[in-house]
Amino acid sequence: MPFIDKSLFILKKHFVVFFIIIAQTSWSQEIQLTDYAEVSVITAGPGNELYEGFGHSTIRIVDKKLGIDLAYNYGIFDFDAPNFYLNFAKGKMLYKLQRYPFYLFVKSYQQDRRWIKEQVLNLNLVEKQQFFEFLETNAKPENASYFYDPFFNNCATKIPEITKIILKEKVSFNTKYANSNLSIRQLMNNEIPWNTWGSFGINLALGSKIDQSALANDYLYLPDYVSKAFNFASINNNGQIENLVKETRNILTYKEIALKSSLTNPLLIFSLILIIGLYITFLDIKKKSLSKWFDSLIFLITGLIGVIICFLWFFTDHSATPNNFNLLWAFAPNLFVAFGLRKGIGKRWLKNYLLIALVMIFAVFLVWIFKIQLLPTAVFPFLILITVRYFWLLKYSLLTSKK
């Protein structure tokens, strides 16, 4: 899918890296495909890991007469690349097109028991050759890399993109596949269970840009919708409008894997924190005291999350992290309040700060109700807790200042 494909690990396991390096020298100019050639869009089902949860797309070119059967995979990256984790955090992630034997692609999905579907394209020999030469040229080391974006430039979006480049005005993509009137975030959340830490983290990090109603082209970051788009697409063959997909085949037919929530899921953990926090607040109110350690911990956690959100928003190239309204409750200045709380009780600045914080939390609920940005559902028990604690802290601060 959008994030990673495991086929490269299978390649290394089978000791064919040398073959790939040798084969990268383009021989497409020397080889002319025959009438036995086929160009196909390959869609694979989701796997057990979060990065596999969206499925995967690739292109297959096969010519049985010439003994060619290759996968052209835009979903490869290298963990060992220089500054890999830093570039990943900064949104400067380099993916690349890798060409290798198709049976290895199948083998990797067979091991994980993930289904594979093939859509054979309705192309003439000239068009098949154009696909072959285009992909061979782009598989060269100097052309293979591209800056990855999980929503706008990934292994799935590449396939309709290069199809339009090669076939130009001859191909037409009907937008019937995009009739659900969903946002990019809703499309993403349909693919992964909401009550998982992966879903929680992704939704926490991404801003309101992906909450706008998705255009037809925006659906194509998901392999399933690429497959649907090709099903609705047409091609002009010498004045005859025909289906772009000539034939659909099932290569592997395993039952689709569904990601599952763990026992220690976000909603359960935050609900337990809420119960504990309400109990601590009950005792504080009864004793007319303040558990400063608990409030300092809340300010510290929300402040740290706010710093991360600010970093992703202002200091990275991620396209979907700006304009993140989670910053209203995960407020970066809370980090300073966490360390100044002990001396700040009863101070005017703290009372003003708490009033502002409560207004921002109220705004969070408005943002969610009016669907300006959908927040992680599991975070709401925590929002209730910090609202209750801010109210009690404000009231205690007012009582202290009167003494």
User: pLDDT of 276-329, one tens digit each?
Assistant: 999 999 999 999 999 999 999 999 999 999 999 999 999 999 999 999 999 999
388: Cα within 13 Å, side-chain hemisphere:
19
Highest mean pLDDT: which of 6-15, 334-343, 350-359? 350-359
Where are the domains positioned within the chain?
Answer: 7-178+215-252, 266-402
Q: Hunting for tokens 């396209």 — which residue is that?
A: 319
**Mean pLDDT score of the chain, rounded to an integer?**
90
Strand extents, DSSP E, 254-363: none
d(CA 213, CA 351): 39
Q: State residue 22's pLDDT score.
A: 43
Element (H, E) at 335: helix 334-344
Q: State residue 79's pLDDT score.
A: 65
pLDDT at 10 over 50: no
How far is CA 1 from its chain centroid?
9
* Backbone phi, psi, residue 26, to 5°: -65, 125
d(CA 260, CA 173): 34
pLDDT at 153 over 70: yes
Long-range contact set of residues 362-367: C-beta below 8 Å, sequence gap at least 24: 363/325, 363/328, 364/325, 364/326, 364/328, 364/329, 367/325, 367/328
d(CA 196, CA 193): 6
Q: State residue 81's pLDDT score.
A: 67
Taking a C-beta distance cutoff of 8 angstroms, is the pair 148, 95 a contact? yes
Express as a percent the part of the chain with pLDDT over 90: 78
Q: Hunting for tokens 């937008």 — which residue is that?
A: 175
Exposure string for 296-328, b = 16+ CB within 10 A, e = fewer: bebbbbbbebbbbbbebbeeeebbbbeebbbbb
Tokens coding 185? 């975030």
pLDDT at 396 over 70: yes
Longest dimension (CA), the chain: 93
Among 28-42, 63-77, 109-123, which stretch is predicted with the lowest mean pLDDT? Answer: 28-42
d(CA 56, CA 71): 12
What sign results for the dihedral spanned by CA atoms 369, 373, 374, 380?
negative
Amino acid of residue 38: E
Q: State residue 352's pLDDT score.
A: 94
d(CA 88, CA 85): 5
What is the side-by-side strand order in the sheet with 240-243? Answer: 171-173, 233-237, 240-243
3-class DSSP state of 167: helix
Q: Where residue 85 falls among pLDDT bands split at 50, 70, 90?
A: low
Crossing angle of helices 334-344 and 292-314, rounded to 10° = 160
Question: Nearest-CA neighbor of 78 among 125, 26, 145?
Answer: 145
3-class DSSP state of 65: coil
Q: Hunting for tokens 């991620």 — which residue is that?
A: 318
Average pLDDT rounded to a whole number, residues 186-207? 94
d(CA 250, CA 232): 18
Dump pLDDT digits (tens) for 96-148: 999 999 999 999 999 999 999 999 999 999 999 999 999 999 999 999 999 99
Q: State residue 29's pLDDT score.
A: 56
Q: State residue 170's pLDDT score.
A: 97
Dump pLDDT digits (tens) for 11-28: 444 434 434 444 444 455
Question: Nearest-CA neighbor of 324 among 163, 210, 172, 178?
Answer: 210
Average pLDDT rounded to a whole number, residues 249-258? 94
Higher-confidence residue: 49 or 130? 130
Q: State residue 13's pLDDT score.
A: 42
Q: State residue 87's pLDDT score.
A: 74
d(CA 115, CA 110): 8
How far is CA 388 from its chain centroid?
33
d(CA 228, CA 211): 22
d(CA 221, CA 187): 10
Strands 94-101 and 145-147: antiparallel
Q: Where residue 253 falls among pLDDT bands split at 50, 70, 90?
A: very high
The contacts of residue 98 (CB under 8 Å, 6+ apart) are 7, 8, 11, 20, 72, 73, 76, 139, 144
Length of the chain (residues) = 403
Count of beta carbons in the 10 Å neighbourhood of residue 135: 21
Tokens coding 209? 């840009």
Amino acid of residue 64: K
Q: Hunting for tokens 């207004």 — which residue is that?
A: 359
